[in-house]
């Protein structure tokens, strides 16, 4: 018997395991479907894409997407201690204050930016020092990049030449502008949620961490979550929770596990011969993701990351923790508004001083650079559904990319701006031939055709267990992240976001878990 059982040792689960087990009289069980985070590639920032498709990846694929040439989009998700924070590009971005103020306005009291900033600061150790917007002494290290590429500095100069404000801190008073990203690294190595939160807590006698433990379903008694059934070492086992079961399995696995447990759209559950514990139509709905497209160019000078993997660079990394192997690939960035009248940016750029085509799988040889345009506020909504009642079967993932024409419009503006950036004086000395979408694609129709066949996820699925008020028919959890219709069950991860934030989702997910830990303590006081 444990007080709390947490399912998923990703960005949120690691935070909860640390914060809840900080009370010595509380026992915590953390279940992780993947294995320990021991592979050497996890330490080397540049190596993250080498983990795609490995045993540390759930290796999901969407269903054929009708609006993007029936692509089955590859969705990597972390399956190890640290979850996707062990596989991501380490960019530290919180989003825009308008994102959280919109959450609060939608009947989610306590979730405005002003109310959440203390949790962002509590989570953070900002190497630049404390300020109004930043904290020090927290678990998660936030650092400047150690060895950015000259191409990335050229990108910043290109943005400034086009009138974008230089922004040294996208998480400060303003998000708009161009600059280099800060990263979740410590001493030149990746600093995942497991590094930040789990490693300092794992020797506590009241914290049990079980890897290779695949959750099968939540068990209920009289409408209360009392246990988790899971597969471990080839046999089904159960663990009981005296206080709460907490799902932190992410925007794909959390709704899947709820549905397997009888919580979700009643008609769908019955089709799979599953009992209906709570009829919640919103489970698995409201899926949002950041869609990425852009422009890629060959480089006329051999300065990209294509030449990073040399013995000399490896030695520099091992001895000094510097050099190109410390690169997070997405070194430079910008947040822009594609039209007048917007309250906040609707487009993000991620500049990579290398080719990054189809997740890096289809990179041509030689040197190049990529200007990735990211749709920040997609209008399209998708869903996650059960494929079957088999808990080991991957769910159906249907993001419905580009279902709303407005999303294509923003990305087309992004491509045109990417081309303008590439043709500034700063980048022209490096710019060779345009590889994607290619010089022949000049009209909106031609660019849109290429976009449909070559867009990809930026790895930020959210929203499938939406937080909302009682009047919201798709709300799955309340503003304390408690699952509606049952007792003793919460969801704490990116799936609770009502709308996607403007930026990368790791830091916001850590914040959500910090806030949730405080709510849990308050609710049980």
Q: How many CB atoms lie within 10 A of CB 319?
A: 9
Is the bond preceding residue 437 a cis peptide, omega within 30 degrees?
A: yes
SS3 150: helix
SS3 125: strand
Sign of the Cα torsion 19, 202, 464, 239 reads negative
Strand ranges in 185-234 using DSSP code E only, listed in sequence order: 185-186, 189-190, 207-210, 213-221, 224-232
Instruction: Provide the H-helix boundaries in 295-394.
Output: 311-320
Alpha-carbon separation of residue 372 from 45, 120, 334 (angstroms): 19, 27, 10
Contact 324, 313 (CB under 8 A): yes
Question: What φ, ψ does residue 12 adopt, rounded to 5°?
Answer: -85, -45
Contact 194, 86 (CB under 8 A): yes
Residue at token pair 């397997």: 260
Return the half-sphere exposure (C-beta side, CA atoms, 13 A cut-off) of residue 401. 33
Cα–Cα distance measured from residue 73 to residue 62, given in angstroms and rounded to the nearest whole number:
5
Sign of the Cα torsion 350, 452, 57, 375 reads positive
Which residue in the list 454, 460, 506, 521 is annotated as catalytic? 460
Cα–Cα distance measured from residue 46 to residue 43, given in angstroms and rounded to the nearest whole number:
9
Contact 333, 348 (CB under 8 A): yes
Burial class (CB in 10 A: 0-12, 13-18, 19+), 402: buried
460 is catalytic: yes
Q: Residues with catalytic annotation? A: 460
């Amino acid at each position: 018997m444990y007080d709390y059982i947490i399912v998923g040792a990703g960005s949120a689960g690691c935070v909860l395991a640390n914060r809840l087990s900080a009370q010595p009289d509380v026992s915590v069980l953390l279940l992780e479907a993947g294995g320990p985070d021991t592979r050497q590639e996890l330490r080397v920032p540049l190596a993250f894409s080498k983990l795609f498709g490995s045993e540390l990846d759930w290796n999901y694929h969407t269903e054929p997407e009708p609006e993007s040439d029936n692509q089955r989009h590859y969705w990597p998700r972390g399956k190890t201690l640290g979850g996707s924070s062990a596989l991501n590009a380490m960019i530290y971005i919180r989003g825009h204050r308008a994102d959280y103020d919109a959450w609060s306005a939608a009947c989610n009291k306590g979730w405005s930016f002003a109310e959440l900033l203390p949790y962002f600061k509590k989570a953070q150790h900002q190497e630049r020092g404390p300020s109004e917007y930043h904290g020090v002494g927290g678990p998660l290290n936030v650092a400047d990049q150690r060895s950015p590429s000259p191409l990335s500095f050229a990108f910043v100069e290109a943005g400034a030449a086009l009138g974008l404000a230089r922004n040294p801190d996208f998480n400060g008073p303003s998000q708009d502008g161009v600059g280099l990203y800060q990263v979740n690294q410590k001493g030149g190595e990746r600093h995942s949620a497991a590094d930040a939160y789990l490693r300092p807590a794992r020797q506590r006698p009241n914290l049990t961490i079980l890897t290779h433990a695949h959750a099968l379903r939540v068990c209920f008694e009289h409408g209360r979550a009392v246990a988790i059934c899971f597969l471990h070492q080839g046999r089904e086992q159960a663990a009981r929770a005296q206080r709460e079961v907490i799902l932190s399995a992410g925007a794909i696995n959390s709704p899947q596990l709820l549905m397997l447990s009888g919580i979700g759209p009643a008609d769908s559950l019955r089709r799979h011969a599953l009992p209906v514990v709570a009829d919640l139509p919103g489970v698995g709905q409201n899926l949002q993701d950041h869609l990425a497209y852009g422009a890629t160019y060959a480089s006329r000078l051999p300065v990209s990351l294509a030449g990073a993997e040399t013995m000399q660079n490896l030695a520099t990394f091992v001895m000094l923790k510097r050099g190109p192997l410390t690169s997070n690939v997405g070194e430079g960035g910008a947040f822009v508004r594609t039209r007048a009248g917007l309250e906040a940016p609707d487009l993000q750029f991620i500049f990579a001083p290398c080719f990054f085509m189809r997740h890096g799988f289809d990179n041509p040889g030689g040197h190049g650079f990529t200007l990735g345009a990211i749709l920040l506020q997609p209008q399209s909504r998708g869903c996650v559904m059960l494929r079957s009642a088999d808990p080991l079967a991957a769910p159906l993932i249907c993001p419905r990319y580009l279902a709303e024409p407005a999303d294509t419009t923003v990305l087309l503006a992004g491509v045109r701006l990417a081309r303008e950036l590439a043709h500034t004086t700063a980048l022209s000395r490096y710019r060779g031939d345009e590889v994607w979408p290619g010089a022949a694609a000049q009209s909106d129709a031609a660019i849109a055709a290429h976009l449909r066949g070559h867009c990809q996820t930026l790895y930020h699925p959210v929203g499938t267990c939406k937080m909302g008020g009682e009047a919201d028919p798709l709300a799955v959890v309340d503003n304390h992240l408690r699952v509606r219709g049952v007792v003793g069950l919460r969801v704490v991860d990116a799936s609770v976001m009502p709308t996607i934030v403007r930026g990368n989702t790791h830091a916001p997910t850590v914040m959500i878990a910090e806030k949730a830990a405080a709510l849990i303590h308050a609710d049980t006081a």
